[in-house]
Amino acid sequence: MNARAGGDSHIAKKIIFCFNYETGSVAPIFSTSHLEHFLNIIQETPWLPIHYDALSLGEKYETLTEELLKAKESSQVTKPWEITYFCRFLYETYTPPKIITEAQRKKLREKALMEQRQQFAKFISLLNELKVKGKISAEQWRAYSEQWQKNQENRQTLIDKLRQLE
């Protein structure tokens, strides 16, 4: 999602951090979901405001940042830490789960589909090669092709069996 569509604008947050670094009022964590993740781990008491879901993304980010900074300051261990060190500690110790966007999910599906097509093309090429060599009949070619389509989990076994015929 981009900033114009109301997305989680990382560039704007980075600029704000750079200009406000010395105030100690911002943290170099630019993902709202990462802030939520870290707070869920380090906060011992509930931290969500009552109307959290009604807040805009910017208001959520501001609230989350304030809560994270309060948590940092409340710990005798982390209080003296510089903010970038604290955030590095969070990322290295409590790495957020990877959240896949719809665009990334679409790319992964397309990649998987392309790989399946390539595997099928290699399989058909193997069948054609065996047919040309007279190792399998047209009827066997169709039967092996159907097996490929129906039994995805046994495809490698089928390929191995056919390679023995070469």
User: DSSP assignment of 46-115, as one string?
Assistant: ----TTGGGS-HHHHHHHHHHHHHHHHHH-TTTTTS-HHHHHHHHHHHSPPPP---HHHHHHHHHHHHHH
Tokens 């940092």 sit at which residue?
72
Helix (H, G, I), strand (E, B) or coil at 16: helix
Instruction: Name residues whose C-beta falls within 8 Å of residue 102's C-beta, 6 or more positions apart in sequence.
Output: none
* pLDDT at position 8 over 70: no
Q: Are residues 120 and 62 in the same domain?
A: no
Whole-number pLDDT of residue 59 = 87
* Backbone CA torsion sign across 3, 46, 101, 72: positive
Q: Are residues 133 and 154 in the same domain?
A: yes
Q: Are residues 153 and 80 in the same domain?
A: no
What is the arithmetic mean of pLDDT over 80-88?
A: 90
Q: Are residues 9 and 61 in the same domain?
A: yes
Whole-number pLDDT of residue 21 = 65
Which of 64, 93, 122 corresponds to the end of one domain? Answer: 93
* pLDDT at position 156 over 80: yes
| Average pLDDT along the chain | 83
Q: Are residues 84 and 122 in the same domain?
A: no
pTM exceeding 0.85: no
Q: Are residues 124 and 80 in the same domain?
A: no
Q: Are residues 80 and 160 in the same domain?
A: no
Phi (first) and psi of residue 99, to 5 degrees: -105, 120
The residue among 164 and 13 whose pLDDT is bigger is: 164
- Give the total number of structural domains in the chain: 2
* 144 in Cβ contact with 158 (< 8 Å): yes
Which of 41, 61, 93 corresponds to the end of one domain? Answer: 93
pLDDT, one tens digit per residue, over 57-69 is: 888 888 888 899 9
Which of 93, 117, 140 corresponds to the end of one domain? Answer: 93
* pLDDT at position 124 over 60: yes
Categorise residue 7: left if φ over 0, alpha if ψ from -120 to 50, beta otherwise.
beta
Q: Are residues 85 and 18 in the same domain?
A: yes
Q: Are residues 110 and 70 in the same domain?
A: no
pLDDT, one tens digit per residue, over 14-47 is: 677 666 667 777 788 888 889 888 888 888 777 7
C-alpha distances in Å from residue 55, one per residue of 46, 90, 156 = 17, 25, 52
CA atoms of 32 and 160, how far apart (whole Å): 49
- Domain span at 43: 3-93
Q: Are residues 26 and 86 in the same domain?
A: yes
Which pLDDT band holds residue 165 (cuts at 50, 70, 90)?
confident
Q: Are residues 37 and 82 in the same domain?
A: yes
